[in-house]
Amino acid sequence: MKKLQLVSAMSLTLGTLVFSGMASAAVVGESSNTSYVKVGAATVNGGPHTSGGAGIGVNATGIDNLVNFQGLTVYGAEDAQGVYNLNFPYTGSPTSHDNLGVFNFAQVGTSDVWVGEWSAYGTSGDSTRTVYYSGANADTSVPTSGTATYTVVGINNYDGTAASLLNGTLTADFGAATLTGSMTSTNGLTVNVGIASINSDASVTGSNAVAIESASVVASSGDVSAQFYNGQADLAGLVDFAGTEYDTAFGGTQD
């Protein structure tokens, strides 16, 4: 199982683009494989990109050079499911972007919080496939009582169809300090986060997520990482299993 690594901010440049200065500690995110994708506070100023918000870096252009997701949306529009798909290179993109790979990502509500997946080729079984989340205005504490439910979507091998997008509900029990629930696609994949722990710093961790297809468990002991944002209005996270096939990024807003 891959070791999840928390990333809060980066500070290098991209080509001739300009170093941003101080990155925001309020940006929190995580990647299932930091050899391919790093997330945190954007560091790049140039083109459509500005520094300081939720960002992502891939190794083709220097993995420590993080560009903001809002800037990435300029290169494509949301599809009918609310997912951005960027497949580089394409007509009109800068030549420096030719090897950036394939991105599928979605915004959580209207916040600067994003979840998605990346791979070098976007093909079935691509071993570089990495899931991630990255968001600004991360919470630093949570209530000690009460519950909240979140309507979430999950991104797992997204192919542009509604059938490949997972949908579900996660329940945060702040009194018990647990996050539970699942999400399911009409293609037949269910990812259940198990019983994950809500930590006092507003992060979420767990290690007993499962993936189910055709009523059979196809992956187990998945690591869960998530974060609350904007006063618990938003939630984003990922599930990381052994291998990459069932790794899933998820996010949603409080009902």
pLDDT of amino acid 121 = 86
184 close to 190: Cβ distance less than 8 angstroms: yes
131 close to 32: Cβ distance less than 8 angstroms: yes
Q: How many other C-beta atoms can be found within 10 angstroms of the C-beta atom of residue 255? A: 9
pLDDT lower than 50: segments of the chain:
1-25, 89-98
Give 11-43 pLDDT, tens digit per residue: 222 332 332 333 344 999 999 999 999 999 999
Q: How many other C-beta atoms can be found within 10 angstroms of the C-beta atom of residue 125? A: 11
pLDDT of amino acid 76 = 83
- Enumerate the domain spans of the chain: 5-135, 147-254
Burial class (CB in 10 A: 0-12, 13-18, 19+), 146: exposed
pLDDT of amino acid 46 = 83
20 close to 44: Cβ distance less than 8 angstroms: yes
Give 57-81 pLDDT, tens digit per residue: 998 778 999 999 999 998 888 999 9
pLDDT of amino acid 88 = 65
pTM for the whole structure: 0.87
CA-to-CA distance for 244 and 241, rounded, in angstroms? 7
Give 148-202 as a DSSP string: EEEEEEEESS--SSGGGEEEEEEEEETTTTEEEEEEE-TTSEEEE--SEEEPTTS
Q: Tokens for 182?
A: 């699942």
Q: Which CATH architecture has domain 147-254?
A: Beta Barrel (2.40)
pLDDT of amino acid 13 = 28
